[in-house]
Amino acid sequence: TWSAVPAGPPDAILGVTEAFKRDQDPRKINLGVGAYRDGNGKPFVLPSVKKAEEIISQSGDKEYLPITGLPEFTRRAALLAYGAESAPLKGNAVAVTQSISGTGALRIGGAFLARFYPHSKTIYLPTPTWGNHTPIFRDSGLEVKGYRYYDKKTVGLDFEGLKADLQSMPEKSIVLLHACAHNPTGVDPTQAQWIEISNIIKEKSLFPFFDMAYQGFASGSTSKDAFAVRHFVSEGHQVALCQSFAKNMGLYGERVGAFSLTTADPEEKARVESQLKIVIRPMYSNPPLHGARIASTILGSPELYSEWEGEVKGMAERIISMRDRLYDNLVAQKTPGEWGHIKSQIGMFSFTGLTTPQTKALAEKAHIYMTADGRISMAGLNAHNIDYFSESVSRAVKG
Ligand code: PLP
Ligand code: TYF
């Protein structure tokens, strides 16, 4: 029956972990997948999450959630993203549903827009973007195109190219924006640049679709990282927003996320929510319970909330300290090239500028694994392996 089914290629990111696992060298380092590791290279369960789980274990049944998820979770998730001052939130005009983490939010959003957005079936993604964006939106029924984002020469934002491409899109097209901590480049617009982007998007009546997978992880502050989303909303844009609690709460495998749309008023919100349910029901009926309870418990308790904020800040700061140390090492080792981007890039990743042959050499000779585009997950570095890593990179660049 399946003799005509061709073997598919492995996932570009998760395939790196497979290669890492096969390597037996004790010095091996996995900088492929974007998952936080503590100072000893171990997965990190946040203490606030453990406390929330203890609280949850005292009560609660295992009944199905409603189609749009745990109501107190979605309310608190929206508040975290949009902020207490948000006009649509205060006016009960945000349609929101729980989702199977950020990926599920993107898929619900893609499917909803493919069905109901009346003006366009094309979504523009930054070049490059997270590898899963293209198949998610294509499988949702949208046409996928790109806009300029990253400048190889400056290892920074191609702001002129970005603006020119926004200007030349057909009016009312959908534009995907990474709200903060752009994956894979680590290059974000400044606040002043976001303001300009918002203005162009308004002039051209484009539809901003935010993917916020790293709120709190970029700067250490959840409100600072929400700047772009909140600015757009305060400027009167109607937005779509995908949230993930995988990184900022370390809830990866629990699959906790939310999808929301700002609407004109409570009546429109109710209509939109009714159709979100119709999109979701045949996909998975209703979302998982446990992770949403954890996130909701943390967001709803002043003590756990402030503890969690400290923990997010701690993760962000450890990553930033690794950036400083890597930069200092590469410069001290007189590594050819300019390495300032290691420090200026934001979030979980650094787009090192290492070439595919160099990444290959690092895997084969030094047992160091990263994606072929030269992206490293900064969280995989720690005091024990950073000197070995810097020396190996330096050697690979010197050739
Ligand atoms: N969007 C971006 C930009 C990501 O980097 C990721 C991966 O972490 C996601 C969305 C979705 O991740 P998850 O489905 O684990 O929340
Ligand atoms: O880019 C990353 O490494 C993260 C983690 O199918 C990830 O987004 C990678 C692949 C995937 C899901 C999550």
Our count of domains for the chain comes to 2
**Same structural domain for residues 131 and 277?**
yes
- Does 352 map to a domain? yes
Indicate the burial class of 297 (C-beta count within 10 angstroms; 0-12, 13-18, 19 or more).
Answer: buried
CB of 246 within 6 A of ligand 1: the answer is: yes
Amino acid 13: pLDDT: 84
Instruction: Give the torsion sign (CA, 93, 111, 255, 245).
Output: negative
Is 211 noted as a catalytic residue in this protein? yes
Amino acid 11: pLDDT: 83
**Same structural domain for residues 269 and 375?**
no
Ligand 1 centroid–CA 132 distance in Å is 8
For residues 339 and 350, what is the distance between their CA atoms, to the nearest angstrom?
11
Q: How confident is the model at residue 221 (pLDDT cuts 50, 70, 90)?
A: very high
Is pLDDT above 90 for 324?
Answer: yes
pLDDT in tens, 125-141: 999 999 999 999 999 99
**Same structural domain for residues 204 and 270?**
yes
Q: How confident is the model at residue 329 (pLDDT cuts 50, 70, 90)?
A: very high
Q: What is the CATH number of the domain that holds 245?
A: 3.40.640.10
Q: What is the CATH number of the domain that holds 385?
A: 3.90.1150.10
For residues 327 and 333, what is the distance between their CA atoms, to the nearest angstrom?
10
**Same structural domain for residues 355 and 372?**
yes
- CB hemisphere CA count around 183 (13 angstroms): 22
Q: How confident is the model at residue 219 (pLDDT cuts 50, 70, 90)?
A: very high
pLDDT in tens, 145-165: 999 999 998 889 999 999 999
Q: How confident is the model at residue 109 (pLDDT cuts 50, 70, 90)?
A: very high
For residues 356 and 372, what is the distance between their CA atoms, to the nearest angstrom?
5
What is the DSSP track for 327-368?
Answer: HHHHHHTT-SS--HHHHH--SSEEE----HHHHHHHHHHH-E
Structural domain ending residue among the three candidates 254, 284, 304: 304
- Please pick, among 51, 188, 225, 247, the residue that the annotation labels catalytic: 247
- Does 9 map to a domain? no
Instruction: Give the torsion sign (CA, 315, 317, 320, 322).
Output: negative
**Mean pLDDT for all residues in the chain:** 96
- Please pick, among 158, 211, 269, 339, the residue that the annotation labels catalytic: 211
Amino acid 64: pLDDT: 97
Mutate to test the pocket of ligand 2, among 17, 31, 130 (most ligand atoms within 8 A of CB): 130
- Look at the block and give the residue holding tokens 């200092």: 328
Amino acid 58: pLDDT: 87
Q: How confident is the model at residue 399 (pLDDT cuts 50, 70, 90)?
A: confident
The range of the structural domain enclosing residue 223 comes to 51-304
- Does 58 map to a domain? yes
Note whether 73 and 79 are within 8 A (CB): no
Nearest to residue 260, comparing CAs of 82, 65, 87, 67? 82
